[in-house]
Amino acid sequence: MPSFDIVSKVDAQALDNAVNITKKEITNRFDFKNAHVVIDLNKKDFKINIETDDSMKMDQLIDVLINRANKQGIVPEAFDRSKEGAQSGKAWKREVSVKNGLKQEDAKKIVKQIKDAGLKVQAAIMDDLVRVTGKKIDDLQTVIQAAKSWDLGIPMQFENMRD
């Protein structure tokens, strides 16, 4: 029976490359000359700690980071920017977490969308992925096309297609 998996993964190496390219670009920018800028990637927790002089530079730095990550193949929805930056002494600090893996409520949203589409497929939640099975590959490809148009606020990838 044909199946595929819907996952939400971020490549750790691509994220590391995006952070390193951002560091290099910031050191060459005129508006960041002699500015206090620290970008630190925690690969284990998928969190980026950023420290700058003021909130305006913080916003510019995050925009550059997201732009560089997008060029590395990481979609902007993967970055959780809900936490606001806080001032600690003279520096502004902010933690940007990167969404990696499907949460249970996101997986439930995906399953609900698949059931609402009315296609002859079954969707099952397995840990941090959703496995979709059907009798025909055409039905699975229809699910993939429909899923690309859903706006759930999470990055989705489709992998492990089996016949």
What's the mean pLDDT in 10-17? 91
Whether residue 107 is found in the same domain as residue 91: no
Whether residue 49 is found in the same domain as residue 120: no
Q: What is the CATH number of the domain that holds 151?
A: 3.30.70.860
pLDDT at 18 exceeding the cut of 90: yes
Whether residue 88 is found in the same domain as residue 34: yes
CB 134, CB 122: distance < 8 Å = yes
Whether residue 81 is found in the same domain as residue 122: no
Look up the domain containing 111 and give its range: 3-8+102-162
CB 80, CB 109: distance < 8 Å = no
CB 57, CB 32: distance < 8 Å = yes
How does the average pLDDT of the chain come out, rounded?
A: 89
pLDDT in tens, 95-134: 999 988 888 988 999 999 888 888 889 999 988 889 999 9
Q: What is the CATH number of the domain that holds 16?
A: 3.30.70.990
Whether residue 106 is found in the same domain as residue 85: no
Q: What is the pLDDT at residue 66?
A: 93
Whether residue 120 is found in the same domain as residue 81: no
pLDDT in tens, 131-140: 999 998 888 8
What's the mean pLDDT in 24-34? 89
> Structurally, how many domains does the chain consist of?
2
